[in-house]
Chains A and B, each alone.
Chain A
């Protein structure tokens, strides 16, 4: 289904922030903002829901901790106990201090890598994916705000012009 959107181009993040606040105040729905770099506070200004990726990160960390405990218990205690430095590996708890660095690293490893993978999945990013940004210059020095057109297009165009947009384009999206 085709929908009509307007692309407003900005060349400064402060002007963009002001524009986002103005457009939100006028009750327009901002579909997306493409930026060359993360703009501090933009998510709040756009009214996006807070991210839940921190919660997933915590759960992945717990998973990593459990995996490391099970792994070290299997490798060092059950499968092939060794006597290292006069400390025979017959009990997990008595050898635990030696495993703490592994437990720590696996916690960090799981939390970090699985969080990044979750982020890619959630943002629908994968290798060889075609870029979605409307203009390659949004990876360089331009900010683009994408707004859905529902009512009067001319009103929206003039509102955007008053916010300091350097260019406004009307686009049919399929």
Chain B
């Protein structure tokens, strides 16, 4: 049995405390009036050399003065959104890791893979985070519906009243149905996780394979549910922050991101546990396979990223390209930096077969991949909610630290609850003998 070491526990609690502090500072320092927001932007502009000043000088007519007021209010909303977006991006990122691991776990179950059963308990430990992570994301969504922030413009009845596109979408995109969908999806994912975990533990003390067979059937069924619900979830929770924009492969794109982050975390947790003397039967061959998945899905992610980008870039339809125009104009470094972290680094670092077996090398590449995919979620949310007022400062880092701490705390606490190696899985011997 694994015991949660005190050092790790204290470390995760410190992370949570620091993160909470950072988030608190973010919320307290957000402006509450238009004047405060103006002052903040002006203070920033002093530092940047005042590009806005020239623009302001050119606006003289009354019509444009009215437009300026609207602009000031818009900036106020963006600045108010910043701590909320920082919270939401980090909450979703760590929730997405657990959900990606759940999908990977279900694939292993449904395909009856022989190499991976030794890692099932690690995966089940990580998916335990679905419960707190999912509840937190759901609470943030409820608070958004209650107009605590302006992340989802379509939730504002005033905005919808002046927007014909949103009126047409309101049959689907309305707060009640939105929350119902979120509850169904979260309920389905958490149910599968808990039920599969129960069957997995029952299999160890059973004297036949009925639990294993049942788990196989539920996993196959879950994958169907997951592929549909994950896609809709990505439209609801992410794409709808830009309610005018749509992309048909967005669900796949988010899936690729969560899958590769999830596999990376499985590899990192497995290597960590191995370094502490647990998981004696997990060897370099298993790490090699996980690293192959990290490599392959990094390329898959890039393929989808480029597929989405190139078609919209080439077709050049105004309502579609705005999405990339904001990202390339206001988020240049974050947007293309993400491409380096998510594609170039994993491609070059993990290409060599031998490097996939060097554990610390997999950990280092894993850190790069996780940073890259945090930035990916950041780039999906921030341009719509915060716009050009973005930065990576105290609220963003605080959000990451808080959820990283919570994630570590919850995952390693779940790992202590059962032996780290399944005993009666029919494929356990194959997994033990697995060699590349």
Chain A positions within 8 Å of B, measured between CB atoms, are 54, 58, 85-87, 97-98, 100-101
Contact = CB atoms under 8 A, between A and B. Distances in A.
A58 B348 CA distance: 11
Given A54-B353, A58-B351, A98 B306 contact: no
Contacts of B309: 97
Given A85-B316, A86-B316, A98 B353 contact: no
A97 B12 CA distance: 43
A98 B316 CA distance: 13
Q: Nearest 9 A-B pairs (CB), nearest first?
A: A97-B310, A97-B313, A85-B314, A86-B316, A100-B306, A98-B314, A85-B316, A100-B310, A97-B309
Given A54-B353, A87-B314, A87-B316, 7 more contacts: A85-B314, A85-B316, A97-B309, A98-B314, A100-B306, A100-B310, A101-B310
Contacts of A86: 316
Interface in B305-319: 306, 309-310, 313-316
A22 B309 CA distance: 58
B169 to A, nearest CB: 28
A158 to B, nearest CB: 32
A115 B200 CA distance: 45
Interface string B296-336: 00000000001001100111100000000000000000000
Contacts of B310: 97-98, 100-101
Contacts of B353: 54
Contacts of A97: 306, 309-310, 313-314
A97 B309 CA distance: 9
Interface string B335-367: 000000000000000011100000000000000
B402 to A, nearest CB: 38
Contacts of B352: 54
A166 B314 CA distance: 66
A98 to B, nearest CB: 6
A102 to B, nearest CB: 12
Nearest to A55: B352
A151 to B, nearest CB: 35
A138 B297 CA distance: 39
A97 B316 CA distance: 13
Nearest to A40: B435
A137 to B, nearest CB: 30
A100 B315 CA distance: 16
Contacts of B314: 85, 87, 97-98
Interface string B274-313: 0000000000000000000000000000000010011001
Contacts of A87: 314, 316
* Chain A CB within 10 A, most for which of B314, B315, B352, B353: B314
12 contacts: A54-B352, A54-B353, A85-B314, A85-B316, A86-B316, A87-B316, A97-B313, A97-B314, A98-B310, A98-B314, A100-B306, A100-B310
A97 to B, nearest CB: 5
A92 B177 CA distance: 47
A46 to B, nearest CB: 17
A97 B353 CA distance: 30
A167 B351 CA distance: 44
Nearest to B435: A41
Nearest to B310: A97
Interface string B114-136: 00000000000000000000000
Contacts of B315: 85
A134 B309 CA distance: 57
A98 B314 CA distance: 8
Contacts of A54: 352-353
Nearest to B315: A85
Contacts of A98: 310, 314
Nearest to B353: A54
Nearest to B313: A97
Interface in B217-251: none
A100 B310 CA distance: 9
Contacts of A58: 351
